[in-house]
Structure 1
Amino acid sequence: MEDLLNVEIKQSDYSSEISAQRKFFQSGATKSYQFRIRQLDKLYKVISENEKLILEAVKKDLNKSVFEGFFGDVALILHEISFVKKHLSKWMKPEAVRTPITHFGSSCKIFHEPYGVNLIISPWNYPFQLSFIPLIGAIAGGNTAVVKPSELSPNSSALIARLIKETFSNEYVICIEGGIEVSNALLNKQFDHIFFTGSVPVGKIVMEAASKNLTPVTLELGGKSPTIIDSSANIKLAARRVAWGKFFNAGQTCVAPDYLYVHKSIENEFLSTLKDEIIKLYTNNALNFSDYAHIINVRHFSRLKSLLNGPSVYFGGRTDENTLAFEPTILTNVSKDHPVMKEEIFGPILPVLSFDSIEEVIAEINKNPKPLALYLFTENKSVKEKIIKNIPFGGGSINDTLFHLATPHLPFGGVGSSGHGSYHGIHSFKCFTHEKSVLSQTTKFDLSVRYHTTRGALNIIRMLFK
């Protein structure tokens, strides 16, 4: 079966599908407000009506509980659609901007123009959310889209393909399933914009491929997102929110706390409290707890197991190779040169480091690439201001984890090696549109100072453009 799939991939480069979408886009059919709203309504309907099937798919792929499946792969999609529908009319209006005295007689506006044919490549950890929320932006922006879900979550991928096929025509939105060969074939085609969510190494491949056609890209990547527990933190609340944010979906979240810095004065108390909070969430036997997610596949499971070699296991560490369950695990005595501190963990392992001064933490974090997220627990306003001012990161939360990505009012995205561009809410609309600048000039008069033949023109221009 796999060989047959590869044969089919080699025989198709998806030119006809992309050409059909380009023709449909150029017809202007996708651009009206009424059309966009109808498509968003259709998407809302198909997601809400198929909630049970979506939850079953993520259960099969990742052993997600109903709670985690709904929160991570249904609720955010429905909320995003509702938010976008409420504001889309306003966003679509041309935006008038001020005109300087140097442009007397003219008016300036920004038009939000759809890119055209978009490629959306989504990952396996939140397969529905990370396929459909970018698609919402593409629809709101007036585009067409090719959606390529991850083959590592096959049940979710098959359902995504089915839902899209039942909801949209291929010339408007099409889902193309498959593995690396399919991704490569699509990346070799000419798109007007590529939206990719995934790992840093694959993000580099996507960007390199896009550069051949000078295609604009949005990269939602990852990295090592630090969490800082200041001496003034509310220990119990911090421990509960770290446990929830880190081990939600078994740590397979791009913005999960990747490692912890805990102030030495509260380290022992915090670790003990964190252990208690993990047990409250996932019991003393997480390997057999039905509401605890499992690792996506054997390769990632083996990679995570190898990260346990060296540091001390303070809590957890047990695994089940048959089910790919991996206990919530806390590591201490961690060397900064250990692999667990060199690569994004993307699993239920939490290394804990201690610190004396906040300046020390800032210096250490800034030695590494800019993280996708940062979390700080503190009751000290000056510490909060110092961290925000001195550490660059994509986004984050003070006294919480993960929740910043759930509001459509905040842009979500990385910086540097953790990503490029942002989305959610109006930022999704902007992500899938080009800001086209238009100056409209009067014909009632003509300022002669713009012409070099006018006497004294240069001196006037010097004065105006100071």
Structure 2
Amino acid sequence: MDPFADTLQRLREAFDSGCTRPAEFRAAQLKGLSRFLQENKQLLQEALAQDLHKATQLDSAFIRKEPFGLVLVIAPWNYPLNLSLEPLVGALAAGNCVVLKPSEVSKSTEKVLAEVLPRYLDQSCFAVVLGGPQETGQLLEHKFDYIFFTGSPRVGKIVMAAAAKHLTPVTLELGGKNPCYVDDNCDPQTVANRVAFFRYFNSGQTCVAPDYILCSPEMQARLLPALQSAITRFYGEDPQSSPDLGRIISEKNFQRLRGLLSCGHVAIGGQTDESDRYIAPTVLVGVQETEPVMQEEIFGPILPIMNVRSLDEAVEFIRRREKPLALYAFSNSSQVVKRVLAQTSSGGFCGNDGFMHMTVASLPFGGVGASGMGSYHGKFSFDTFSHHRACLLRRPGLEKVYALRYPPHTPRNLRVLLAAMETRSCSCALL
């Protein structure tokens, strides 16, 4: 028996009825979502704590932004509330019916989203479905009009393959190894403060976190004590007892991360506690490009340092690898930062800071290549979940003017058409 058939049929029937299209309905949905957040702040905080300690002159030309229809949002576990609700806001604002599939890994947040959130939205147009990989696979067998997925590249390929069977468009927000180039012309303590904050935020379980540092051996020698100083100031002499350092989400991820500690040499940190799923803020040196810590996204509080002899070598290293979701460059020279920006490709870029670019609502957030496709945040979320329908409304009269385009194409008519095309800023409106 298909556990999703009734739910999906109900949502599609609701969308086909047109009930999601009025602006008033969309606003009501968003207000309900807002009340959900306001009225359940404590409940959500507790759940999160448990899980993660553009016209022509004679015509009217316009773009009509229409909802796709039935949208599937598949959310991850590392920011289980934010990364469920941010795409949901865009999908609802665009007038879609939505199926939200939260992560089964962040169990407490999943429970709140499933049991409480639907009370605040029109349940004929919204549903939360639960389950693990098997249920998600079964859900993906159905036809959706748009799929928004946040997660790993491995699962992203599965989602895209399932979507391809129905020619369903997708946005894939994936991860990757985000390089952080540190120039010799830097204040090491400033760099260390910013890199450590963004690397160990949420215990490193952030898709845009700096994944590894590229710097000269000389800068490494200056950076290591600065990193140690920053870590101690942020988390104290015993980071395990700090209320500001999270824990690894699961035993499986803990064991994977602990295995990465054998790469290179531990210069800072390295302590672990399996019973607490604790891994100390760690810096690795002497790592090789072929080692696992440089081959897979770390997604934990481990920061490897790779040595390069020059900016050219750093750029070449970055360019021969998959395009990352984010890229960071630190230098007192704006020319160095601009060169890294100009000669590389990434989903986002930030000079002399961590992932603050993703907090600016006027900027799109998304990946490129192996780190994803499509973007969202702010108005970009509304655009992502809307079909941009190109429309032109032409007057029924003026036929003698428009008859110039009909065969036979006399030399005179062709001259007039050519003149029209040369004098207009856009393509010939007679055609």
Structure 2 length as normaliser, TM-score?
A: 0.94
Partner of 1:70: none
Q: Does the 8 A contact of 2:366 with 2:374 survive in 1?
A: yes
Partner of 2:261: 308
Give the letter aligned to residue 83 of structure 2: L
2:238 paired residue among 268, 285, 309? 285
Q: Does the 8 A contact of 1:452 with 1:458 survive in 2?
A: no
Partner of 1:174: 127
2:404 paired residue among 449, 453, 456? 449
Using the TM superposition, give the Cα deviation of residue 169 of structure 1 relative to its aligned residue in structure 2, in angstroms: 3.2
Deviation digits for residues 161-185 of structure 1 (CA, Å, limit 9, x no counterpart): 1222221233211111111121111
| Counterpart Cα distance in 2 of 1:302 and 1:462 | 70
Give the letter aligned to residue 256 of structure 1: A
Using the TM superposition, give the Cα deviation of residue 128 of structure 1 relative to its aligned residue in structure 2, in angstroms: 0.2
| Counterpart Cα distance in 2 of 1:460 and 1:208 | 50
Deviation digits for residues 94-115 of structure 1 (CA, Å, limit 9, x no counterpart): xxx533xxxx632310011111
Using the TM superposition, give the Cα deviation of residue 284 of structure 1 relative to its aligned residue in structure 2, in angstroms: 2.3
Please identify, of 386-395 and 265-274, the stretch whose mean Cα deviation from structure 2 is larger: 265-274
Query: Is 2:392 the counterpart of 1:392?
Result: no
Query: Is 2:382 the counterpart of 1:407?
Result: no
Give the letter aligned to residue 406 of structure 2: Y
Aligned structure 1 segments of 4 or more residues deviating by more than 6 angstroms: none
2:326 paired residue among 355, 367, 373? 373
**SS of aligned partner of 1:37:** helix
Using the TM superposition, give the Cα deviation of residue 388 of structure 1 relative to its aligned residue in structure 2, in angstroms: 1.1
Aligned length in residues: 419
2:167 paired residue among 200, 214, 238? 214
TM alignment of 1:130-145, pairs within 5 A: 130-145=83-98
Structure 1 length as normaliser, TM-score?
A: 0.87
Query: Is 2:19 the counterpart of 1:29?
Result: yes
Using the TM superposition, give the Cα deviation of residue 399 of structure 1 relative to its aligned residue in structure 2, in angstroms: 1.2
| Counterpart Cα distance in 2 of 1:234 and 1:31 | 54
Percent pairwise identity: 40
| Counterpart Cα distance in 1 of 2:12 and 2:417 | 45
Partner of 1:149: 102
Using the TM superposition, give the Cα deviation of residue 265 of structure 1 relative to its aligned residue in structure 2, in angstroms: 3.4
C-alpha RMSD over aligned residues:
1.5
TM alignment of 1:34-433, pairs within 5 A: 34-63=24-53, 97-99=54-56, 105-433=58-386
| Counterpart Cα distance in 2 of 1:134 and 1:50 | 20
Give the letter aligned to residue 336 of structure 1: E
Deviation digits for residues 294-329 of structure 1 (CA, Å, limit 9, x no counterpart): 111111111111112230100111111111111111
Q: Does the 8 A contact of 2:99 with 2:127 survive in 1?
A: yes
| Counterpart Cα distance in 2 of 1:349 and 1:310 | 11
Using the TM superposition, give the Cα deviation of residue 45 of structure 1 relative to its aligned residue in structure 2, in angstroms: 1.4
| Counterpart Cα distance in 1 of 2:204 and 2:329 | 18
Using the TM superposition, give the Cα deviation of residue 207 of structure 1 relative to its aligned residue in structure 2, in angstroms: 0.2
**SS of aligned partner of 2:60:** strand
Partner of 1:84: none
| Counterpart Cα distance in 2 of 1:105 and 1:174 | 45
Partner of 2:425: none
Give the letter aligned to residue 357 of structure 1: S
| Counterpart Cα distance in 1 of 2:193 and 2:116 | 36
Please identify, of 284-293 and 348-357, the stretch whose mean Cα deviation from structure 2 is larger: 284-293
**SS of aligned partner of 1:437:** strand
| Counterpart Cα distance in 1 of 2:290 and 2:284 | 14
Using the TM superposition, give the Cα deviation of residue 13 of structure 1 relative to its aligned residue in structure 2, in angstroms: 3.9
Please identify, of 191-200 and 376-385, the stretch whose mean Cα deviation from structure 2 is larger: 376-385
Deviation digits for residues 252-278 of structure 1 (CA, Å, limit 9, x no counterpart): 000011001123332211111011101
| Counterpart Cα distance in 2 of 1:460 and 1:342 | 62
Partner of 1:5: none
Deviation digits for residues 142-192 of structure 1 (CA, Å, limit 9, x no counterpart): 111000001111111101112222212332111111111211111111111
Using the TM superposition, give the Cα deviation of residue 460 of structure 1 relative to its aligned residue in structure 2, in angstroms: 5.1
Give the letter aligned to residue 215 of structure 1: T
Q: Does the 8 A contact of 1:448 with 1:454 survive in 2?
A: no
Please identify, of 409-418 and 308-317, the stretch whose mean Cα deviation from structure 2 is larger: 308-317
| Counterpart Cα distance in 2 of 1:263 and 1:218 | 37
Q: Does the 8 A contact of 1:287 with 1:319 survive in 2?
A: no
| Counterpart Cα distance in 2 of 1:54 and 1:441 | 53
| Counterpart Cα distance in 2 of 1:237 and 1:42 | 43
Q: Does the 8 A contact of 2:341 with 2:349 survive in 1?
A: no
**SS of aligned partner of 1:322:** helix
| Counterpart Cα distance in 2 of 1:145 and 1:399 | 38
Q: Does the 8 A contact of 1:220 with 1:414 survive in 2?
A: yes
Using the TM superposition, give the Cα deviation of residue 349 of structure 1 relative to its aligned residue in structure 2, in angstroms: 0.8
Q: Does the 8 A contact of 2:263 with 2:293 survive in 1?
A: no
Deviation digits for residues 220-267 of structure 1 (CA, Å, limit 9, x no counterpart): 001000111112223222111111100011100000110011233322
Deviation digits for residues 181-227 of structure 1 (CA, Å, limit 9, x no counterpart): 21111111111100000000000000000000000000000100011
Using the TM superposition, give the Cα deviation of residue 403 of structure 1 relative to its aligned residue in structure 2, in angstroms: 1.3
Partner of 2:426: none
Q: Does the 8 A contact of 1:258 with 1:345 survive in 2?
A: yes
